[in-house]
Structure 1
């Protein structure tokens, strides 16, 4: 496998990993007001491809955040207990937005790397044709 192909596969794996991360972050943000919802987190692993000699990013397991759920006082809520409290979610919108911005920038960096490798490969092919 050529070095260009290796760099393309590495950046592609990064794009897929950040895309998956953004999907889970958007699920967290959309469920921030859902009672009992636990924040989802995703792990990344390094995947080594022995025959190609390149490493890539691989999405690990999705886990639920074990922080305690927010206790909300609203006696009129249908899920409220005898004290008038119910459990909200443990999603902090500030953290989710910061993580989304980081994932977006990582995605853009991988996209830029992919585009640079593609342009270099194209330029090399043009030079070889002359």
Structure 2
């Protein structure tokens, strides 16, 4: 009987990858908080996750010539964030406190998915080794 890892791991494998992309986007916002004209961006997590699940694959780095090319572009549904504060005159729409809060929430959700996957892997390992 074959084990389908997609069924075992559920959405969490794709959620990790999408949350990782979102963390990069949010950290870019924080890094550019003082850049004149920079517009804060975020992604529609639900649509990016649905797209990742639909394609059932994600971007993978090819680090050696003999590796298979497994690149599939996922639409991350990047959007500009509506500013909560009035423009300070330089055109920058980043609110550092908001970005940090969203970044921390994303990090905690990433960690939750990672712990879920870790538990699933431990359970599979225990089943395969007979509990040793």
Same fold (TM over 0.5): yes
Aligned equivalents of 1:59, 1:97: Cα separation in 2: 24
Number of paired residues?
Answer: 110
Q: CA RMSD in A?
A: 3.0
Aligned match for 1:60, one of 76, 84, 101: 76
- For structure 2, which runs of at least 5 residues remain unmatched after alignment? 55-73
Structure with the largest fraction of strand:
1
Aligned equivalents of 1:123, 1:112: Cα separation in 2: 16
State the shift of 1:117 in Å.
Answer: 0.6
Task: Verify the 8 A CA contact 1:14 1:110 in the aligned structure 2.
Answer: yes
- DSSP-derived class of the 1:32 partner: coil
Task: Verify the 8 A CA contact 1:69 1:87 in the aligned structure 2.
Answer: no
Larger radius of gyration: 1
- For structure 1, which runs of at least 5 residues remain unmatched after alignment? 50-57, 73-85
Q: TM-score, normalised by structure 1?
A: 0.70
